[in-house]
Copies of this chain bind each other. A is one copy, B any other.
Amino acid sequence: MWMESKREVEEASRSRASFSRRLLNSLLLCNGDMEHLDEYMQDKLFVLQLAVWGLRGVTRVILANNPLSGALILAALFWASPWQGLLGTLGVLASTLTAVIMGQDSAEVTGGLHGFNGMLVSLLMGVFSSAGDWYWWLLLPVCLGSATCVFLFSGLSSLFDRWNLPVTVFPFNIIIILYLLCTGPNNPYFPHHRVTPPGALEPNATELLAVQVIRGIPLGVGQIFACGALGPSLLILGAVLLYSPLLAVHALLGSAVGTLAGLSMAVHHHFLYSGLSGFNGALGCMAVGGLFFTFSWRTHLFAIASAFLSAYADIALSNMLGTMGLPACSWAATLTATLMLLLTGSLAAYRIPIGQVRAPECNLLSHSQWKAGNTLERESTDV
């Protein structure tokens, strides 16, 4: 009896262990880049494949690459505003389909690299439009603008290829500025809001509220998708956490650094409260801390420097473009990340070649394996 009960307990505990192991495994399956999914999807319907490419594209905006995270982010966008969610979905699909039609490299298309610029263009066209939600004529520039992103992505990748640099969100930044310039504030068909520069003086400024400023830090992560609500922003942060905890930490850290930079330059309170002063810092911090460089304490310091640089450059560019009523979008973070990738010296030793960039945790693992392999090899050659 005792033995049996012991065996039962053992079995139960084993089954529990195996259950938690299976749970962990299935969780791990959803983690990182989910490359196993690509094999599984190979012989599925085109529509399903397109959905996965699109969802990967959605996460590329925030420097991740995971379809499940993409689904979470899309859910967050629909939660914040169904109209914005629709625009985002349309944008990512329009640009991915254009890439397929234009015969772009299939590895780029399946990796979602042709989706994220289109998505950002669509989202920001929606945000800046002053015609209100459900203004159906907006779908025309949304589709055309997203499709044009593929032209720019392809052209710029030829240009940047000489330095092994990624194109990142340059196409989005160019297209949205051109769109806003093209339509102008008083366009009869596609009117949009004028953007006020963050540095303009406020005549009767109220006192700064610390709670609101701290609330702006997670909002900074949401502002990467032009989303200004707290709940969806936290969901987006959760999606990044699912892809890579290290990236999520750097996102929050970068947003905090950006807020600090904003405080030091006495920008508008609105910029701090809404998270607008944080999102460039977040992007700059994420790009260096773990994604394009192997994580280490040295890379971590460079990531903080990159966050500060992105945040200050964002204030400068916002002030400049603001004189013409234009937003600075993510120009600052994009330029700073590109600069960091070009750096020589101690940071360059940690750089991961563009083709081999995975989730930060995988990068770390493959780097240590590679290092161990190198040591072993050296030892074997020594002997």
Contact = CB atoms under 8 A, between A and B. Distances in A.
Given A182-B315, A183-B265, A189-B264, 17 more contacts: A102-B345, A102-B346, A102-B347, A103-B346, A104-B344, A148-B309, A151-B340, A155-B339, A155-B342, A156-B342, A181-B315, A181-B319, A181-B320, A182-B313, A184-B319, A186-B199, A189-B266
Interface string A331-349: 0000000111011111100
Interface string A100-144: 001111000000000000000000000000000000000000000
Contact of A187 (B155, B188, B266, B343): B266
A158 interface: yes
What's the interface size class on A, roughly?
A: 35 or more
A179 interface: yes
Contacts of A323: 324
Given A265-B183, A313-B178, A315-B182, A342 B154 contact: yes
B103 A345 contact: yes
A273 interface: no
A158 B342 contact: yes
A34 interface: no
A324 B316 contact: no
A266 B189 CA distance: 8
A317 interface: yes
A187 B265 contact: yes
Given A151-B343, A344-B154, A316 B163 contact: no
A21 to B, nearest CB: 44
Contacts of A271: none
A159 interface: yes
Contacts of A156: 342
A161 to B, nearest CB: 9
B181 A317 contact: yes
Given A182-B319, A188-B266, A319-B182, A155 B105 contact: no
B316 A181 contact: yes
Interface string A308-332: 0100110111011001100000000
A186 B201 contact: yes
A357 interface: no
